Structure 1
């Protein structure tokens, strides 16, 4: 198994990921995919949509083995949720 090497700082990675999602990917996936995960190669703009991060990332890595992957949950601010849920 090959270990992926990150080529960008965390800040640059996040900036690029968000930029690609907002400008290229979001318009294509937003309708009808709320809650699904998009894995995006921040260098090529290629992406995969799936029910979880593992499936989406694996599919993307099959096509682009050296992908620099940024994940987004469609319609949410974060990919994962921590804590007890909604408090009233």
Structure 2
């Protein structure tokens, strides 16, 4: 597998990903998919929905091997959670 370098700065990558998710993808996927992953090509707006990042990303890469992929977990601020949970 060839790994292609990002075409955008981290800031531009995040800006584009968030903008596409909020304006185009979220209205289509939010209902009934809480916790699932959306992989979005920030250049075309194409996206895939799956239970995990690998599956969503691989499906998108099958459609477009050059995809610049932004991932988001529906209903969460981050894609992954680190740590053991809430500390008291």
TM class, shorter-length: over 0.9
- Structure 1 length as normaliser, TM-score? 0.96
Deviations 1:29-79 (A, max 9, x none): 000000000000000000000000000000000001100000000000000
Separation in 2, partners of 1:83, 1:3: 29
Matched residues, number: 88
Unaligned 5+ residue runs, structure 2?
none
Separation in 1, partners of 2:76, 2:6: 25
- SS of the counterpart of 2:45? coil
Separation in 2, partners of 1:8, 1:58: 21
Query: What is the CA RMSD across the aligned residues, in angstroms?
Result: 0.8
Which residue is 2:63 aligned to?
63
Measure how far apart 1:87 and its partner are. Answer: 3.2
Measure how far apart 1:86 and its partner are. Answer: 2.5
- Structure 2 length as normaliser, TM-score? 0.96
Separation in 1, partners of 2:2, 2:83: 33
Q: Following superposition, which runs of at least 4 residues in structure 1 exceed 4 angstroms of deviation?
A: none
Which residue is 2:82 aligned to?
82
